[in-house]
Structure 1
């Protein structure tokens, strides 16, 4: 029996895979998206109601052109789907002077002409009285930052892709795949085989199963996010409070204005991740991670240091240099992948979906992808 044929198969329909499905389908291609869980599931790294989008990027100025495009696409995608996906609240990097994050975010603003302000300790307290920070802290304010409604973004991408004819199959993971002699691929699932001209692999924590060249370069870790009872919710409402990255002695934490949940959301500590096997169904964060989050709230954001209302785990796939990996599978140019986004990738998903569509259709991307090449780990 002949395997059903598609122009492109997308393995993994989370943030980036759903975006790839949309960008491919609107180009008129026949697309199949395969997802191992339900749509919008909480087993990976694309859930939790909200994800930060920052244009002042302390991880490196080379990310800024892509995140600016993502910012534009989140607005356009929301408009097309009739949903508000992008919430512009302003973003605030908070760190001790000289620690690096504020200075690096400032440099990315200067490199790309982004609006910004450097705030001293007194000005931070005046504008955002919810923070009680040590005197040596500085802030980098960038007014275009905010958050993306994460599950809604996936639903929007999938709905738009389906409106252009894409097929999305949930509960059907890709078990394996192989290249064919004619330059295509065969993908195997429990329900059968499918053939395609191209393959896009966006399977998150399971990426090394599909791209063995990544197995020695990436690790899968668990991160904690929680929503906590607030004593003064008016301080944390959207419009009064920004998204933020906070560097303190307890670690690096990130937070949001109140949105669709009565609790204040804080995640971290960013580098306090704990290794895990994604095949383990338990996503419960460790008591240590939750304790550090609560200690951070008690010391620095005390009006949000109430009892936990919801606590969840989140799975990150991390590369050795904390950078993304976007490339073709070694020796198989018809298969492309994006992974190892190291806990800071969701904001880019709308643009990375477009990049993956470009790579899958031999379209020249406007971005320099060399910093994200797999071969950099061989140097």
Structure 2
């Protein structure tokens, strides 16, 4: 007999593991299926650290209530696990006064009455000597920002889901979903299952199960590197906040203090925007990758620019607007689609898991996701196609 479930969650990375945990906590009969094993290196949920911040330059609408709810949900996860997932270090957002990061952060803080400090070059050097600012640059300190531990978060959600009765299958690739009048059949490499609803949260593989996203959800290669600092004192988390830096035409960079043994971690958002085949191994780090990151360290963080000890590739799955997609499948409310990262989504994991559970059980959520629908994505694509080149 085909196993029967209320909800099936396909993909158990950040968003899928959180959705599975929220569903199991509500007493739902739920199965989670993943082609790989927890916190694997072919997804987007590994690498020791992810930024979290309240002063959100991308769009102030992310802050209330999504980021506020995310912070509360992270703390609830920590309380139940009795372990630390979210560490507050502050986040320093650096750039020219009219740069995207600085103007967007100011607007977000003003709209939501968020506390922040604005530092000029001398003040930033005095407070945080690891950073080298140009004379005309400023730094905005978000005191509530910090970092998350992605592997611990994913493993924590899976642990709680299992404790609450979820069925977990790893090393089993889903090859198709077949909605019909009474539910959805899920076909995998080894079995078939029935569920009333299904959540598809498969990251860089999402277009395999959601063909509507084939031209829009683009997996790209991301590279990050770690450096043993010349001055280990000033790169400790108590003395160095996590950061974002706007380099204008050269893009934006992010980084973290010396959290673990490998030291300071940095990367450039979207790196070289190179599309990759999600079914192939991650391309290796090359000389162009390390030259880019080494040059940034030498110019912007010279006292942290010691020995590069590690560099790895991971993946972003980019949507056209770089916003999230969290919606019911057009024309089929039995299928919930989640492609919420575009390189800046992990901090929202704890609230997106709640939203996905709402959508699967109720077909709607009280949390605002109107900007993250298929319709919103299509409107952006149409508007972009009509914009002057």
Structure 1-normalised TM-score? 0.96
Aligned in 2, Cα 1:274/1:144: closer, same or farther, shift over 3 Å? same
Q: Relative to structure 1, is the Cα distance of residues 365 and 181 closer, same or farther in structure 2, using a 3 angstrom cutoff?
A: closer
Measure, in 1, the Cα distance between the counterparts of 2:42 and 2:261: 20
Paired position in structure 1 for 2:52: 53
In the alignment, the residues of structure 1 paired with residue 79 and residue 363 of structure 2 have an alpha-carbon distance, to the nearest angstrom, of: 25
Residues 119-166 of structure 1, C-alpha deviations (whole Å, 9 max, x = no match):
211111111000112111111111111111110000110001111001
1:132 match: 132
Higher mean C-alpha deviation, range 50-59 or range 284-293: 284-293
Counterparts of 2:340 and 2:314, CA distance in 1: 14
How far apart are the structure 2 equivalents of 1:60 and 1:86?
Answer: 22
**Equivalent residue, structure 1, for 2:97:** 97
3-state DSSP of counterpart to 2:337 = strand
Judge which range, 284-293 or 185-194, deviates more. Answer: 284-293
Q: Provide the C-alpha distance between the structure 2 equivalents of 1:171 and 1:353, rounded to a whole number of angstroms.
A: 22
> Aligned runs of 1:221-370 on 2, under 5 Å?
221-248=220-247, 250-270=250-270, 272-362=272-362, 364-370=364-370
Could you say what secondary structure the match of 1:256 adopts? strand
Aligned-pair CA distance for 1:290: 2.2
Question: Does residue 20 of structure 1 match 2:19?
Answer: yes
Q: Name the counterpart of 2:37.
A: 38
Cα distance in structure 1, aligned partners of 2:340 and 2:295 = 29
**Residues 197-224 of structure 1, C-alpha deviations (whole Å, 9 max, x = no match):** 1101110000111111111222110011
What are the within-5 Å matches in structure 2 for residues 117-196 of structure 1?
117-182=117-182, 184-196=183-195
Consecutive unaligned residues of structure 2, counting only runs of 5 or more, are 380-389
CA shift, 1:45, in A, is 0.6
2:387 matched residue in structure 1: none
CA 1:46 to 1:10, structure 2 compared with 1: closer, same or farther past 3 Å? same
Preserved contact between residue 323 and residue 342 of structure 2 (Cα < 8 Å) = yes
- In structure 1, runs of 5+ residues without a counterpart are none
- Is contact 1:316–1:340 with CA below 8 Å preserved after alignment? no
Deviations for 1:49-106, whole angstroms, at most 9, x for unmatched residues? 1100011101001111211211111111011011100101111111112122111111
CA distance in 2, matches of 1:375, 1:107: 26
Distance (whole Å) between structure 2 residues aligned to residue 159 and residue 121 of structure 1: 46
Tell which deviates more after alignment, 11-20 or 63-72: 63-72
Deviations 1:332-376 (A, max 9, x none): 101101105210000001100000001111065232211111112
Give 1:286 deviation, angstroms: 4.0
Post-superposition, which runs of at least 4 consecutive aligned residues in structure 1 deviate over 6 A?
none
SS of match in other structure, 1:139: strand
Residues 83 and 156, structure 1, Cα contact 8 Å, conserved in 2: no
CA distance in 2, matches of 1:269, 1:50: 14
CA displacement at 1:271 relative to structure 2: 5.2
Alignment match, 2:382: none
Is the contact between residue 10 and residue 21 of structure 1 (CA under 8 Å) also seen in structure 2?
yes
In the alignment, the residues of structure 2 paired with residue 91 and residue 52 of structure 1 have an alpha-carbon distance, to the nearest angstrom, of 8
